Homo-oligomer: A and B are copies of this chain.
């Protein structure tokens, strides 16, 4: 525990660098085109073969919006126009905060990234609800279709407890 701190931290025995372990941001998009939503089928664990929205760890030297665009391009191959932040979901069990932006697909791209088996566009009735990779993705999709039905989108903050 460093002086003045209140929690134990990882400290390098050799150089003294303190590696604080704080929650990480997972940032992604809900890419929409002609009333369909783009989903990616995962080529990696966890949840290999399940469907997800494009998203991933925010990196240093970028904004949340830049992270959302980068992850969308990397995982789906698609270029999108970013909209407003849509959901923000704390998942304290894994020390993560998930943030999804609304987005409009400009260009589906030639092929998805290495982490993705295939990319497909789903209308609401065809969303594979039983094969969604993560609860944060299911929550975000449900909110998106509910808001669209209402005719207005707003920002939704939520906690997913264990």
What is the CB-to-nearest-CB distance from A73 to chain B, in angstroms, rounded to a whole number?
A: 13
Q: Interface digits, A119-162 against B, CB 8 Å rule (1 contact, 0 not)?
A: 00000000000000000000000000000000000110101000
Which residue of chain B is the closest to A19 with respect to CB atoms? Answer: B19
The interface stretch among A20-28, A31-39, A46-54, A104-112 is A20-28
Checking B62, B92, B155 against A92 with a beta-carbon cut-off of 8 angstroms, the contacting residue is B62
> A25-B23, A88-B85, A157-B85 are contacts. A95–B13 as well, Cβ < 8 Å?
no
Q: List 11 A-B contacts (CB under 8 A).
A: A19-B19, A22-B25, A22-B57, A23-B59, A25-B25, A61-B95, A62-B92, A63-B90, A63-B92, A64-B90, A65-B90
Q: Mark A residues whose CB is within 8 Å of B.
A: 7, 10, 12-14, 17, 19-25, 57-66, 84-85, 88, 90, 92, 95, 97, 154-155, 157, 159
